[in-house]
Amino acid sequence: MKRNRNKTRQNPAENPILHATIESLDQEGRGVAHVDGKTIFIDGALPNEHVTYQSQRIKPSYEVANVVSVLKQSNQRVVPKCPHFGLCGGCKLQHMDAGAQVAAKQQMLEADLWHIGKVKPENMLPPLYGPTWGYRHKARLSVKYVDKKQRVLVGFNEKGTRYVADMNSCEVLVPEVSALIAPLQDMIIQLSIRDKLPQIELAVGEANQKNTAKAVDDKPVIVLILRIMDALTEHDETHLKAFADAHQVQIWTQTKGPDTIKPFWPLVGAQLQYSLPEFDLIYPFKPNEFTQVNPQINQQMVNRAMQLLQPKAGEKIADFFCGIGNFTLPIARSGASVLGLEGLANLVDRANESAALNHISNATFGVADLFKMTEESLTDLSLSHGAFDKWLIDPPRDGAFELVKAITPASAPKLIVYVSCNPATLARDAGILVAEKGYRLSAAGVINMFPHTAHVESIACFIKN
């Protein structure tokens, strides 16, 4: 009997086990195959492998499946380092050689640029590599009290579910943070609010504090933000303070929105910060403020951006979606006059703080909703600040569609460096810049900001014809 592929059985475990040959990886790190003309996305499979699979979700035009067995193995397959890989949803590609991961991401970038934007880079930049383990300095961990087992789970969610993975370590987190997972579980089980603490957000700063008190024993500065849904008892406070002192971490709390985030213990601790040594820059930041999760790669990314932008004294440069000034201040070091625009006022405040700390006077910052940019507002910006010679754009995943659509001949810079965390929206915006705004895509390449995940960070350079 022919299988009905348009309906998933009520129990996916009853779906038949079938064969497939994997052709490529998709944007989520799944193997892509075609069976009877239908696209099958197979989690755990690598290109050129022959596998058996079982579908978990069946739609009219595609299926989502898991690998059952690998009959012909890729030479790119490796043994995952983390014992929780496969259960934990934090990583997707630990079973793939690290170099092959980067090559696959470069292929994804090229494919999106062509299929979505109908553009090809004149030059493919060498990929930017960095540490593949212990690199992650920021993360959001879920917390779950399991009453039946009298246990607390702390970690990332399980793959494809909202359940918290049962884990006691994490190979991609900074080692000092990975070592805190089990002690956190033991500590939280003793709290009265153990079932009212759904999340811990963590941030790690550099150990060598140049402008603030030096971290104890040169250890990194670690801040844990506990999202608490009920009042702490005196007993709870005692346990939290003891944990912070024993593990040399700072505990902050959040009761409602972001404006309720505040230090709990110690009340005054070492400042979180990161540095860009090549530009003699230090950036202080709050634990809930956006910074790149991989500081080693961030240094390489900024260097690459400056190489492409080539800022010079006397130029006027705009940095859109500037955040806390990650690119703005290195641009300013060149002597160029730079304007950083960002949608969040707290990040603009932090950027101004960093500019003052680093004695930079040729960078100014402002708050602007860049998702509502129009030709008129962009023209007004050029009139008030003077025409910009160059742009740097570093948008969130939604990209910079409104901004690039707003470009007119009068406001068009001669060069744009575009840093992207989503190749699909980069490709869309690249298509507009090339087909409608008179630019050519001179170069593009990937930045492996998130090893062992399917996340693709990239950078591109556009030059006005």
- Specify whether the CB–CB gap between 239 and 226 falls below 8 A: no
Distance CA 454, CA 105 (A): 8
Largest CA distance in the chain: 76
- Which residues, other chains included, contact 72 with Cβ-Cβ below 8 Å and sequence gap of 6+? 48, 49, 50, 51
Please state the φ and ψ torsions of residue 333, each to the nearest 5 degrees: -60, -25
pTM: 0.92
Burial 305-329 (b: 16+ CB within 10 A, else e): bbebbebeeebbbbbbbbbbbbbbb
CB of 142 closer than 8 Å to CB of 155: yes
CATH class entry, domain 12-77:
mainly beta
Active site residues: 421
Instruction: Determine how many CB atoms are found less than 10 A away from the CB of residue 407.
Output: 22
Domain 138-273, classified CATH 3.40.50.720, yes or no: no
Query: Tens place of pLDDT for every residue, the chain, 465 residues?
Result: 344 555 555 688 889 999 999 999 999 999 999 999 999 999 999 999 999 999 999 999 999 999 999 999 999 999 999 999 999 999 999 999 999 999 999 999 999 999 999 999 999 999 999 999 999 999 999 999 999 989 999 999 998 888 999 999 999 999 999 999 999 999 999 999 999 999 999 999 998 554 444 444 578 999 999 999 999 999 999 999 999 999 999 999 999 999 999 999 999 999 999 999 999 999 999 999 999 999 999 999 999 999 999 999 999 999 999 999 999 999 999 999 999 999 999 999 999 999 999 999 999 999 999 999 999 999 999 888 889 999 999 999 999 999 999 999 999 999 999 999 999 999 999 999 999 999 999 999 999 999 999 999 999 999 999
Nearest partner of 224 among 251, 248, 246, 254, judged by Cα:
251
Q: How far is it, in rounded angstroms, from Cα 103 to Cα 130? A: 14
Cα–Cα distance, 318 to 339 (Å, whole number)? 5
Q: Which two tokens stand for residue 10?
A: 């009520």
The neighbouring-strand residues paired with 143 are 154
Q: Which two tokens stand for residue 21?
A: 């040959």
- Alpha helical stretches, state H, 126-232: 175-178, 181-188
Contact 335, 314 (CB under 8 A): yes
Q: What stretch of H or E contains 427?
A: helix 423-435
The tokens for 401 are 């569609």
Q: Is there a contact between 297 and 105 (Cβ–Cβ < 8 Å)?
A: no
Cα(268)–Cα(456) distance, integer angstroms: 37
Q: Where are the domains of the chain?
A: 12-77, 107-130+294-464, 138-273
CATH code 3.40.980.10 for 107-130+294-464: no
Give CA–CA dist 201/228, Å, rounded: 12
Strand ranges in 271-315 using DSSP code E only, listed in sequence order? 273-276, 281-284
* Identical fold between 12-77 and 138-273: yes
How far apart CA 98 and CA 79 sit, in angstroms, is: 11
Residues in the chain, how many? 465
The DSSP letter of residue 214 is P
Contacts of residue 139, Cβ cutoff 8 Å, sequence gap at least 6 = 156, 173, 177, 201, 202, 293
